[in-house]
């Protein structure tokens, strides 16, 4: 029977009853082929007659897709074999296929039901796979498996298995007795959860995890062992990777028991989502300073992180995205950074980090002013009594300006943002603005305000205009003065322009070049004729006054004329000196005469004395009056009467000796003891002369023996009897009070001081 006819019969059979039967014996099998989508399992299954086979095309499959397969064989055992596109040809050709089918997904002499999860072996290219339901004695089965016998039915369910988001392994394995297989190698972050289950198909074994250095030994990672898993349909274990195994190579191992083991296993990860923040600024920074934040150390070995989003100021708004970002802040304070990690599954985890932001920058103080005039160097000139408004509003800071204060010449004046200044006195004032920010940083600046007056100084040129002519080359001194209502003379500045033909300062004015500065100018002129110069005075406010002066420069006198002048001057000096000397001597002679006459000499005696001294003494040319009078060395002036009196006194002393009692003033008894008066020397000399000329009374003989001393003459004088004393009374001519005086008998008159008022009174017998 040909193949088309067989196919028709098979289709009819499927429509009437799901039965597959063989039409011929031991030739190459002719199997019915169906797509998986054509097989609609009924509750009774698909029948396969003895000696027949059915091939199900399950499509192109690769290792990336694990298939969940359910087989159920009813009524009689048969072989269920999995072939790829190459192996199926061997089967269809009746050849030995023992090495051509996939043993993990194949079952010989199967009866009953079985499920397993199987992934096609890895290959360069995806392959087409086929499931053969064989109920025959195939020539290539080497007598193994089912050899047919009676009709058998099957049911098949095949679909992609459920896939975990982070799978490790999902497949079916066969191990020989005692065999150990490394099912999968992995290294993941600590905190990652590893889950795995095992479904035994036949036989038994163990499932566990080992590190690389445990391979080949009996040591395993604690809490990872599923031991002797044959007892249950599925055994599952969940294990979290500890920190000491972070990113270490680990191995999921399977070990068969005493018999071969056939099993399906599935392992997958639940990765940790724990973003971490590395701050290279050591958690501190300053305003405006960039900080690098790094999240690359966040666990992500399974690429579980879908996105990293940064919120720098906790306002629930993302400010940056990515592993490595930069951040800065415009205000100081403790800043909280939130890093949100989102996984591929949509779950999120937030990590937080705090950074202290400091304000270390000083604010910048800026003064803007209205009023006055700004000069080139930035200072301002302000007319006295005028207002200038100063503002701090243009000051700035990297954060904010918290306060402003103003001081004038170091003295605090205002704490407002705006400050108005005005002065009545001219001068230079320094206004300082100090601003501070909320962190206490401060900044200062100042402005110099020159307060000036508008009153111009007035030159006082009298000392200059008085000089109208000067000799060529001769130094001359000019003095400039000025009057100013506000400025002192010391503060005024005088400049002298000595060449009015040049403009040396280049201001277009030839009369104000400062060739010399100062109130006094000492200079000379070289050009004969009219010379012009200018003087300018400036006050502290810059007001000025100037004036141009003219002076006539003449030639100096010649040498001949100079000699003549010198000769005339010398002659005049000689004449004047002679006149002066003659006049000087005459004056000094008159003074000497007056001094001698005041000393008691008569004019004739004084003239004779001066003449005698001039002949007997060498006097200097300009001798003084005292030298001419002979009293410069302490000499005394004595008249002829005084000389006679001295001679008489010497005579008395030679007679009476030097007894002090005899030299006592004879008038002493007539004066009060408490009064000392100066008596006119002329009267004293007259009284002395009268006393000396008084005739002596002859001594009266006494009955007593006479005795006495022998004086120089060798004559013994008898004792002299004391004369009787007379008392005179009178009234003072000044005060009118009466008083009396005892006068010796040999005194006829005396001058006595009044004991009451002290005025001199003359008493006469």
Indicate the SS3 state at residue 497: strand
149: number of Cβ within 10 Å: 14
Residue pair 355/283 in contact (Cβ under 8 Å)? The answer is: yes
Mean model confidence pLDDT for the chain: 82
DSSP 751: E
Helix axes 559-598, 603-616, angle to 10 degrees: 130
Ranges of beta strands (E only) in 598-737 are 726-731
- Domains of the chain and CATH, by start: 3-160 (no CATH), 167-258 (2.60.40), 278-358 (2.60.40.10), 368-452 (2.60.40.10), 458-554 (2.60.40.10), 559-640 (no CATH), 665-686+722-765 (no CATH)
> Which residues, at least 6 apart from 301, have a Cβ–Cβ distance to it below 8 Å?
187, 188, 189, 192, 247, 271
The predicted-structure confidence for 15-59, as pLDDT tens digits, reads as follows 333 444 444 444 678 888 988 887 765 678 889 999 999 999 999
C-alpha–C-alpha distance, residues 133 and 91, integer Å: 12
Give the Cα-Cα-Cα angle 653, 658, 663 (nearest 5 degrees).
80
> Which residues, at least 6 apart from 475, have a Cβ–Cβ distance to it below 8 Å?
522, 523, 524
What is the distance of C-alpha 168 from the center of its chain?
Answer: 63
pTM for this entry: 0.54
Query: What pLDDT, on a 0 to 100 scale, did the predictor assign at position 565?
Result: 66
C-alpha–C-alpha distance, residues 95 and 350, integer Å: 64
Residue 694 has pLDDT above 90, yes or no: no
Give the Cα-Cα-Cα angle 744, 748, 752 (nearest 5 degrees).
75
C-alpha–C-alpha distance, residues 689 and 151, integer Å: 211
Lowest mean pLDDT among 50-54, 79-83, 327-331, 715-719: 715-719
Q: What is the largest CA-CA distance in the chain?
A: 238
C-alpha–C-alpha distance, residues 111 and 94, integer Å: 24
Query: What pLDDT, on a 0 to 100 scale, did the predictor assign at position 284?
Result: 94
Query: What pLDDT, on a 0 to 100 scale, did the predictor assign at position 519?
Result: 83
Give the Cα-Cα-Cα angle 222, 228, 234 (nearest 5 degrees).
95
User: For residue 557, is it left (φ>0), alpha (ψ between -120 and 50) or beta?
Assistant: beta
Residue pair 313/351 in contact (Cβ under 8 Å)? The answer is: no
Q: Which two tokens stand for residue 374?
A: 């700004």
Residue pair 28/81 in contact (Cβ under 8 Å)? The answer is: no
The predicted-structure confidence for 250-299, as pLDDT tens digits, reads as follows 999 999 999 999 999 999 999 999 999 999 989 999 999 999 999 999 99
566: number of Cβ within 10 Å: 10
Going by pLDDT thresholds of 50, 70 and 90, the confidence category of residue 501 is confident
Residue pair 116/110 in contact (Cβ under 8 Å)? The answer is: no
Q: Which two tokens stand for residue 530?
A: 């009219």
Q: Which two tokens stand for residue 133?
A: 């339901």
Going by pLDDT thresholds of 50, 70 and 90, the confidence category of residue 607 is confident
Rg, Å, the chain Cα set: 77
C-alpha–C-alpha distance, residues 295 and 311, integer Å: 13
C-alpha–C-alpha distance, residues 141 and 138, integer Å: 6
Q: Which residue has the higher pLDDT, 510 or 254?
A: 254
Query: Would you list the DSSP string of 19-68?
Result: -----SSSSS---EEEEGGG----TT-EEE-TTEEEEEEEEEE-TTS-EE
The predicted-structure confidence for 186-221, as pLDDT tens digits, reads as follows 999 999 999 999 999 999 999 999 999 999 999 999
Residue pair 329/289 in contact (Cβ under 8 Å)? The answer is: no
Q: Which two tokens stand for residue 289?
A: 């300073």
Q: Which two tokens stand for residue 196?
A: 């795995």
Query: Would you list the DSSP string of 561-615?
Result: HHHHHHHHHHHHHHHHHHHHHHHHHHHHHHHHHHHHHHTT--HHHHHHHHHHHHH
Lowest mean pLDDT among 113-117, 644-648, 653-657: 653-657
Nearest to 435 by CA among 394, 403, 396: 403
Query: What pLDDT, on a 0 to 100 scale, did the predictor assign at position 485?
Result: 76
Beta strand 749-753 pairing with 760-764:
antiparallel
Indicate the SS3 state at residue 457: coil
Q: Which residue has the higher pLDDT, 3 or 272?
A: 272
C-alpha–C-alpha distance, residues 71 and 113, integer Å: 5
Residue 450 has pLDDT above 80, yes or no: yes
Lowest mean pLDDT among 52-66, 341-355, 688-702: 688-702
Residue pair 499/476 in contact (Cβ under 8 Å)? The answer is: no
C-alpha–C-alpha distance, residues 574 and 576, integer Å: 5
Lowest mean pLDDT among 505-509, 560-564, 658-662: 658-662
Q: Which residue has the higher pLDDT, 536 or 515?
A: 536
C-alpha–C-alpha distance, residues 441 and 399, integer Å: 10
C-alpha–C-alpha distance, residues 224 and 209, integer Å: 6
In the chain the first and final C-alpha atoms are separated, in Å, by 223
Beta strand 458-460 pairing with 481-483:
antiparallel
C-alpha–C-alpha distance, residues 206 and 465, integer Å: 133
The predicted-structure confidence for 289-344, as pLDDT tens digits, reads as follows 999 999 999 999 999 999 999 999 989 999 999 999 999 999 999 999 999 999 98
């Amino acid at each position: 029977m040909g193949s088309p006819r067989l196919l028709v019969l098979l289709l009819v059979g499927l429509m009437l009853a799901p039965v597959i039967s063989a039409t011929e014996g031991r030739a190459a099998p002719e199997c019915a082929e169906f797509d998986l989508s054509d097989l609609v399992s009924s509750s009774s299954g698909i029948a396969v007659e003895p000696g027949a086979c059915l091939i199900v095309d399950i499509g192109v499959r690769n290792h990336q897709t694990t298939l969940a397969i359910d087989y159920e064989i009813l009524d009689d055992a048969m072989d269920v074999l999995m072939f790829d596109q190459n192996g199926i040809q061997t089967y269809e050709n009746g050849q030995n296929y023992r090495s051509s089918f996939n043993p993990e997904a194949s079952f010989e002499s199967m009866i009953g039901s079985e499920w397993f999860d199987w992934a096609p072996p890895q290959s360069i290219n995806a392959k087409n796979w086929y499931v053969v339901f064989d109920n025959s004695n195939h020539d290539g089965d080497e007598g193994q498996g089912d050899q047919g016998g009676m009709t058998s039915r099957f049911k098949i369910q095949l679909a992609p298995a459920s896939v975990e988001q982070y799978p490790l392994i999902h497949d079916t394995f066969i191990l020989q007795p005692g065999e150990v297989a490394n099912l999968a190698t992995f290294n993941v972050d600590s905190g990652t959860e590893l889950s795995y289950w095992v479904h035994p198909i036949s036989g038994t074994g163990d499932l566990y995890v080992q590190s690389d250095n445990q391979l080949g030994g009996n040591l395993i990672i604690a809490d990872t062992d599923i031991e002797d898993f044959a007892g249950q349909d599925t055994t599952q274990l969940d294990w979290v990777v500890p920190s000491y195994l972070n990113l270490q190579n680990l191995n999921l191992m399977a070990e068969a028991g005493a018999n071969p083991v056939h099993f399906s296993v599935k392992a997958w990860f639940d990765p940790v989502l724990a973003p971490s923040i590395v701050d290279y600024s050591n958690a501190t920074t300053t305003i405006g300073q960039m900080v690098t934040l790094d999240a690359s150390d966040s666990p992500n070995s399974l690429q579980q992180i879908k996105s990293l989003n940064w919120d720098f100021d906790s306002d629930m708004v993302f400010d940056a995205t990515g592993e490595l970002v930069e951040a800065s802040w415009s205000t100081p304070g403790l800043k909280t950074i939130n890093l949100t990690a989102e996984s591929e599954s949509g779950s999120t985890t937030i990590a937080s980090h705090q950074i202290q932001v400091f304000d270390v920058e000083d604010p910048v103080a800026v003064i803007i002013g209205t009023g006055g005039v700004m000069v080139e160097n930035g200072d301002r000139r302000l007319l006295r009594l005028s207002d200038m408004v100063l503002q701090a509003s243009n000051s700035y800071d990297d954060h904010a300006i918290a306060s402003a204060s103003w001081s004038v010449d170091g003295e605090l004046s205002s704490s407002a943002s705006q400050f108005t200044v005005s002065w009545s006195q001219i001068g230079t004032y320094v206004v300082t603005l100090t601003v501070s920010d909320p962190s206490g940083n401060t900044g200062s600046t100042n402005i110099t305000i020159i307060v000036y007056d508008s009153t111009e100084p007035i030159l006082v040129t009298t000392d200059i205009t008085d000089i109208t002519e000067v000799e060529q080359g001769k130094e001359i001194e000019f003095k400039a003065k000025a009057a100013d209502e506000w400025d002192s003379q010391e503060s005024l500045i005088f400049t002298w322009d000595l060449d009015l033909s040049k403009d040396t300062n280049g201001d277009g004015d030839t009369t104000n070049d400062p060739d010399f500065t100062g109130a006094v100018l000492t200079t000379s002129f070289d050009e004969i004729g009219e010379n012009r110069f200018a003087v300018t005075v400036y006050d502290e406010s810059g007001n000025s006054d100037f004036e141009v002066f003219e002076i006539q420069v003449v030639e100096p006198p010649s040498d001949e004329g100079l000699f003549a002048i010198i000769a005339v001057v010398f002659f005049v000096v000689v004449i004047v000196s002679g006149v002066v000397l003659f006049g000087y001597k005459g004056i000094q002679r008159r003074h000497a005469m007056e001094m001698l006459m005041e000393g008691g000499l008569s004019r004739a005696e004084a003239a004779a004395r001066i003449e005698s001294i001039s002949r007997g003494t060498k006097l200097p040319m300009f001798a003084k009056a005292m030298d001419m009078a002979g009293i410069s060395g302490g000499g005394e002036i004595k008249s002829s009467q005084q000389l006679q009196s001295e001679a008489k006194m010497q005579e008395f002393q030679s007679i009476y000796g030097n007894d002090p009692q005899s030299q006592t003033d004879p008038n002493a008894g007539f004066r009060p003891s408490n009064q000392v008066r100066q008596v006119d020397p002329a009267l004293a000399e007259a009284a002395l002369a009268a006393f000396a000329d008084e005739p002596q009374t002859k001594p009266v003989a006494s009955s007593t023996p006479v005795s006495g001393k022998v004086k120089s003459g060798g004559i013994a004088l008898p004792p002299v009897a004391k004369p009787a004393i007379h008392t005179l009374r009178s009234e003072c001519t000044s005060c009118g009070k009466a008083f009396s005086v005892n006068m010796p008998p040999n005194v006829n008159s005396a001058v006595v001081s009044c004991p009451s008022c002290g005025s001199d009174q003359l008493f006469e017998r």
